[in-house]
Amino acid sequence: MSIEHAVEMRGISKRFGTVQALNGVDLELRRGELLGLVGDNAAGKSTLMKTLYGSVIPDAGEIFVEGQKAALRNPRDAQALGLAMIYQDLAVFNNLDVAANVFTGREYTKRVLGITFLDKKRMYAESEALLSRLRINISSPKLLVERMSGGQRQMVAVARAIGFDATILIMDEPTAALGVKEANTLLDLMSELRDQGISIILITHRISDVLSIGDRVMVLKGGERQGVLDVEDSTLEDVEYLIVRGRPDGSG
Amino acid sequence: MTANQTPTTRVESARARVREMMAHRESGVFLALMLFFVVMYTVSPIFRRPFNLTTILRQISVTSIVAMGQTLVIVSGAFDLSQGSIAGLAAMVTAKLWKNAGLDPPIAIIGGLGVGVVCGFLNGVLAARFRLHPIVMTLATGAVFLGVNFYITRGESIIGLPDGLTWLGKGLIGPVPALIVLMFIVAFLMHILLTRTLFGLRVRMIGGNLKASQDVGMNVERIRVGIFTLSGFLSALGGIVLLGRVGNALPQIGQGLLFPVVTAAIVGGTLLTGGVGSMAGTLIGAAIMGIARNSLVVLQLNIYLQDIVQGMLVVVALLIDQFRRGELNWRIILGRDR
């Protein structure tokens, strides 16, 4: 398998009851690129990404991560390979502060008298450093997440993923619930991450987002791949045509 | 457009500020406590007698100790309705270990605490491994623990307890009643546990977002078992302290405990939905309830009003809760939310 690809998916199929959600889908994510994944509702975008993240097990097909065949039985397997998925309904802890969220599951601790205490000082310092490295504009790691905007919560989730040494980021409709300004800030963060060498797959309904910051865009329709376009030589109409009408020649 | 929006914006920002203040509920509850205290202090000469103030602290100590356990449970997103029965069973086992097995009081107390640990552990296993709903499950195990209590005691009291068994409830450390010291020690330790340890963080995590906690791969089962075990331990401790407060071992010890305990936690700002709560808040909540009860006495109002006052305080606390979480606003109350 090609080593230039951070992710390669081959012939992924998945059926839910009578619905063929995915039918022999291929996907290549080049290292350090931002790939848009677009398509109408029920095109199979989220299902495809869930198979990559190990939360849906495909009926057929193979997945390669960094050139190695991957057996993904659950999200933890995927995380161990450097994948991180950021959902729309975020897995953040609203009742905790930013630092606790960034360090979820790998907290710094120190043992005193057999009791595991949190090393809060270190977590605050390191999450502050991480936020500033990612140029995320959150004033303090002590802020409670529940008092943050949707965009800031997404950024906390991104910071957490990157803090976990994720190199491949899957973002599922991150801007859907955000205002224009916040969405743009998040898109800026994504290009920043791409420039830092992170490979990103962005599921979105906003094709213009992909065309403004993406490298390539892949179109799904009815659980099948319709084509992959280079953003440089594609227009909004080209992408929309594929989304609505599918492959021009009907073969792909 | 902009001119039209300005007043709205001002109202919005005022609302945001109120919401901000409500979010720091400990400070709000503490303010309420202070206000209540100052009013009573000014109004009633009986209230401000040192003896009376100590009495209030003595009265809230058992409630507080047990409520610290309940707070931990509620923050984790569950409830422990068996606490009163565990307190009673632990107290009676302690008394019986002394009376029938002839054990020294300290050993008997350790045995009683052990009973609390076992009961709590059982609750934890049923909640975590068998995934039973904690409210109904602890209601059921509470009935079982109460039944065991009456079965082994045949409903008979044990009177004439030795000092060793009553010291926790009656004894003094210098001039200070031992149970008040114990209350503050428990509060301090539980505060540290909830805010400074990995276990405490895990408790807040599973109460705040259970699914995300599971996704992270933390051992939710073990944490739940730990929570209920601690709750059982503190219930037993409360029950044993009650032995000393009452002076005799009555099988019905602990039966009135649950409501004030849950009340203290709720008035103290613990969110019923889990994830949010503090030991300081619960202590303050218990103090508010204690002063409320005491003021009925010192103002020579009918003591039977106390249930009414207590019940209404809980309703008010729940309302504040709803406002705070944005589940309720004046538009909804006035029926204008369409």
Q: Cβ contact (<8 Å) for A118 and B211?
A: no
Q: What's the confidence (pLDDT) of residue B20?
A: 57
Long-range contacts of B149-152 (CB under 8 A, 24+ apart): B149/B85, B149/B88, B149/B89, B149/B92, B149/B251, B150/B251, B152/B92, B152/B93, B152/B96
- pLDDT tens digit string along B4-31? 445 566 666 666 666 555 556 677 788 8
Residue B304 CB burial class (10 angstroms; 0-12, 13-18, ≥19)? exposed
The percent of residues in chain A predicted with pLDDT above 70, rounded, is 96
Mean pLDDT across chain B, nearest whole number? 90
* Model confidence band, residue B338 (pLDDT cutoffs 50, 70, 90): low
How many of the other CB atoms lie within 10 Å of CB of B15?
Answer: 11
- Cα–Cα distance measured from residue B20 to residue B222, given in angstroms and rounded to the nearest whole number: 35
CB atoms under 10 Å from CB of A185, counted, come to 21
Per mean pLDDT, which of A63-77, B47-61, B222-236 is the most reliable? B222-236
Per-residue pLDDT, B1: 39
Q: What is the pLDDT of residue B186?
A: 98
> How far, in Å, are A120, B197, B200 from residue B205 at the CA level?
16, 12, 9
Count of Cβ atoms closer than 10 Å to residue B32 Cβ: 17
Amino acid at A5: H
Q: Please tell me if residue A112 touches chain B, with a CB cutoff of 8 Å.
A: no
Q: Which residues pair with B177 in a beta bridge?
A: B172
Q: What is the pLDDT of residue B306?
A: 80
Task: Measure Cα distances from B21 to A143, B30, B276 in Å.
Answer: 15, 12, 15
Taking CB atoms and an 8 Å limit, are B197 and A105 in contact across chains?
Answer: no
Query: Which of B198, B241, B211, B220 minimizes the C-alpha distance to B68?
Result: B241
Question: Starting at the edge strand that comes first in sequence, how are the strands of the sheet with A19-30 ordered?
Answer: A19-30, A5-16, A60-65, A68-69
Q: What is the ipTM score, two decimals?
A: 0.81
**Residue B13 pLDDT:** 67
**B157 near B250, Cβ under 8 Å?**
yes
**What pLDDT is attached to residue B270?**
92
> Nearest CA to CA, how far is A34 from chain B (Å)?
26
Identify the three-state secondary structure at position A22. strand
Within 10 angstroms of residue B322's Cβ, the number of other Cβ atoms is: 15
CA distance B23 to B325: 9
**Is residue B113 over pLDDT 90?**
yes
- Identify the residue with better confidence: B2 or B272: B272
Q: Tell me the β-bridge partners of B130.
A: none
Task: Give B212's contacts in chain A (Cβ within 8 Å).
Answer: 91-93, 104
Contact state of A96 with B215 under an 8 Å Cβ cutoff: no
Helix, coil or strand: residue A64: strand
Q: In this predicted structure, what is the pLDDT of residue A176?
A: 82
* End-to-end Cα spacing for chain A: 22
d(CA A29, CA A209): 18
**Residues facing residue A115 across a β-bridge:** A112
Between positions 57 and 76 of A, the ones with CB within 8 A of B are 75-76
Q: What is the mean pLDDT of residues B107-121?
A: 98
pLDDT category of residue A146 using cuts at 50, 70 and 90: confident
Q: What is the pLDDT of residues B142-193, one digit of tens each?
A: 999 999 999 999 999 999 999 999 999 999 999 999 999 999 999 999 999 9
Distance from CA of B212 to the nearest CA of A (A): 5
Amino acid at B17: R
| Min distance A54 CA to chain B CA atoms (Å) | 12
Distances (CA, A) of B328 to A110, B14, B220, B321, B337: 42, 17, 31, 9, 10
- Residue A118: pLDDT over 60: yes
Q: How confident is the model at residue A22 (pLDDT cuts 50, 70, 90)?
A: very high
pLDDT of residue B3: 44
C-beta atoms of A116 and B204 within 8 A: no
| Interface size, chain A vs chain B, as Cβ–Cβ contacts under 8 Å | 51
Distances (CA, A) of B160 to B246, B249, B251: 11, 9, 15
Per-chain mean pLDDT for chain A: 89
Mutate to test the interface with B, among A76, A86, A89, A95 (most CBs of B within 10 A): A95
Domains of chain A are 1-82+167-252 (3.40.50.300), 93-166 (no CATH)
Whether B204 sits inside 8 A of A75 (CB atoms) is no
> What are the structural domains of chain B?
43-323 (1.10.3470)
Nearest to A105 among B209, B211, B216 (CB): B216
Residue A102 φ then ψ, to 5°: -65, -35
| Contact status of A119 with chain B (Cβ, < 8 Å) | no
Across the interface, whether the CB atoms of A118 and B217 are under 8 A apart is answered: no
Which tokens sit at A95? Answer: 């009742």
- Within B268-335, residue ranges assigned H as helices are 279-298, 306-324, 330-333
Task: Please provide the DSSP assignment of A197-212 as one string.
Answer: T-EEEEE-S-HHHHHH
The residue among A179, A169, A144, A219 whose CA lies nearest residue A7 is A169
Chain A, nearest residue to B212 by Cα? A91
The distance of A27 to chain B (nearest Cα, Å) reads 26
Contacts of A109 in chain B (CB under 8 A): 198
Distance of alpha carbon A209 from the chain centroid: 15
Please name every residue paired with B19 in a beta bridge, in sequence order, or none if there are none. none
- HEC-encoded secondary structure of A74-125: CHHHHHHCCEEEECCCCCCCCCCEHHHHHCCCCCCEEEECCEEEECHHHHHH
Q: How far apart are CA A165 and CA A84, in angstroms?
A: 9
What element of type H or E holds A220? strand A216-221
For B18, the token pair is: 């109120």
Task: Give me B110's structure tokens.
Answer: 């350790």
Whole-angstrom Cα distance, residue B258 to residue A170?
Answer: 48
Mean pLDDT, residues B309-320: 85
Confidence bin at B2 (pLDDT 50/70/90): very low
Q: For B237-256, write each residue's pLDDT tens digit.
A: 999 999 999 889 999 999 99
Q: Å from A107 to nearest chain B CA?
A: 8
**Min Cα separation B4/chain A (Å):** 22
Q: Does A117 touch chain B (CB under 8 A)?
A: yes
Quote the CA–CA distance of B173 and B160 in Å, as a whole number.
22
Give the pTM. Answer: 0.84
Collapsing DSSP to helix, strand or coil, B134 comes out as helix
Alpha carbon A236 to chain centroid distance? 22
Mutation target for B interface from A104, A112, A119, A146: give the one with most B CBs within 10 A. A104
pLDDT above 80 (res B70): yes
For residue A107, which of B292, B10, B201, B159 has the smallest C-alpha distance?
Answer: B201
User: Which value, to the nearest 10 degrees, does the dihedral of the CA atoms of residues A160, A166, A172, A175 take?
Assistant: 50
CB contact under 8 A, A100 and B196: no
Q: Is A212 on the interface with B (CB under 8 A)?
A: no
Residues of chain B neighbouring A120 (CB-CB closer than 8 A): 196
